[in-house]
Structure 1
Amino acid sequence: MSTSASSIGVNTAAVPALAAESLDIITSITSTSCPELPPVWVIAHVQAESSWNPTAFSTDRNGGAAGLYQLNETNWRDAGGAAWTSSPPPPNASILQPKEHLRLAIPWVCRNLRLAAAHLRATGKPTTPLDGMLVCHIAGCGRLTGSATGIPNPGEAGCDTSCIELIRKYIDHVHALVEQYSAPAGPVSINDLPAPTSFTGASTTCTAIDPTGGRCLTPATRHAHDEIIRALGKPGPDAPIRSAGCWDEHAWNPDSDHSRGTACDYFPASAGQFPEGDDLQNGWRLATWLRTHAAALRVKYVIWQGRFWSPDTPDTNGWGRPYTGGGIYDPNDVTGSHYDHIHLSILNGRGLAP
């Protein structure tokens, strides 16, 4: 395999055999036509649909669904595939051939991802584009556009209780697979750190106590902070995390997540100093742990060492992509570039356990 698995965030030892064999073609397709779709999400999504059985066929929706992504004939033809000559398709049908299926289906799935991303961006709904893609796939994009958050509650978008349960279990399942198949991304090991418990509640308002002394946190942010402390210990002069701060008015940045109670900063060394040695390693351990468990913790994004990472952003020449400061912070300053602290932002809206 020519692709570096660690560079694309896939633990090849954990994924199904056909997924590992297909990693080169998955990476080639996503990098050239859909860079916002991480390869590990392709692997997890296909696993949730067909368990990586290329000849899988089901008759429970739209006249039958076939192949790795379990597409019906209409969707397969829309992706550019040939019509079926029988149902189920014959063994030599293109939809049942793994490489051909991925070649056509991944760009088709990417169209749903981009439709979801455009809608969520225009409406400000809190659902992530990748979760929106899953809603489109399992229940149709009308469930995404017709709901208040992007993931329907009972009665929204024509979704009854069974529809709600289907969508949420599906998203939960894919999240769990993403975490299972992801390679820890960072230069240090986190094998000795415990996995966090998943956030499963609603998190829309700043109602939880901020233990770092700020005004308030959303429940999801408080949960993430508590799990960080459980994994790495309380901040202190001899602890992996020297200090932490969450809620802050951030008057100079009206768009800051800190003033919404959805962000925290963690300092592995003294503020204003470039961390070195063990302090730098401790910072990387936290950043890697947050990235590895992003789905469980509802991570929106992480900034550290002049790099920005989110679940929707592929790596560019290293961990995440270069952080520019967004026109507000000086990317050449030790604090403005986030060299001295890990910034964690948490998604707002309804939490879905991976």
Structure 2
Amino acid sequence: MLWAEYDPLANRRLAILSPEGQMDEGWRPSELDDEALLHLYDRMVALRQADLLALNLQRAGRMGTYAPTLGQEAANIGSAALLQAEDWLVPSFRETGAMLLKGVSLKLIYLYWMGCEWGSHFPEEVRVLPICAPVSTQTLHGVGLSWAAQLKGENWVTLIYLGDGGTSKGDFHEAMNFAGTFQTPTVFFIQNNQFAISVPRTRQTASATLAQKAIAYGFPGIQVDGNDLMAVYLATREAVARARAGQGPCLIEAQTYRMGPHTTADDPTRYRSEAELKTQERFDPLLRVRLYLENRGLVNPETEAAREAQHLKWAQEQAREAEAAISYNPDEIFDYHFAELPPYLAEQKAYCQRFLAAKGESAHGQA
């Protein structure tokens, strides 16, 4: 088992596909033939294009604050690829690729970041919880779903995402303790992108790894190269199989790097250097898979230019659909908190209505 061989206390980290696109073929999972691997790579490219477009939309004033996934494509795609239809995916706020792979449309994800509540209303058959901005609170929800599987005698697994900063929150430790105590079918997946907004990993915990935090709660943890699609895939495959077999929870720490800002409201130049960012570019998860596929003659510059253009067009179409679906009623800001509005909120509501009227807008959008 990977868990025994890659003990985080022994400073062992699972890494298979090198930044240069080299890999011992003995590590390649049998189910990942060329067609399957190309599909996962294609999903990574689609995520990259959707992510870059979202940044442009935000800068153009067509989207609200957005949390980019740039540099974390392998962690997103390599993990979510192992889930079945009945499994639950519990995101934080940097799992666009995982959500897409599980069946959430890009239109809905864009709607969420455009500030529209309907972006969180997924089809009932899509077992994905809404994006969760409050750090680590989703870990408790996810363990609750896992416990529900036990109580109902069902066989689903819950994959819970969080960042390295989330491991400093009490919610995370409560969720870990509950999962360990009740041996719930839970996989905790930490996208350790080295920063909790501006706080570096080294200032967040004295633990040598985040993976070893699982040991205190009675279940295994493993650290993997989060920019390595193969390592992420293999670790998650074993973790999901273990949970589904009734062997309890486990934790995966995917060491990656956040290439963009924490969100579009953040200025990363205030806490990291251009030289550091430049150094990390050679570890780009997309690049190493592309190099591997190029070495096998499966892709070339022409196919990749066409692939990127195709996915950019798709993302643009999804953005247009999202914008066309937006309708808003500012009255709702005030109407759903009290049975009867307090005077101070009634005054604010009236002011809002006067303000919109002066701009030539109705309460439901453009007049």
TM-score by length of 1: 0.25
Q: TM-score, normalised by structure 2?
A: 0.24
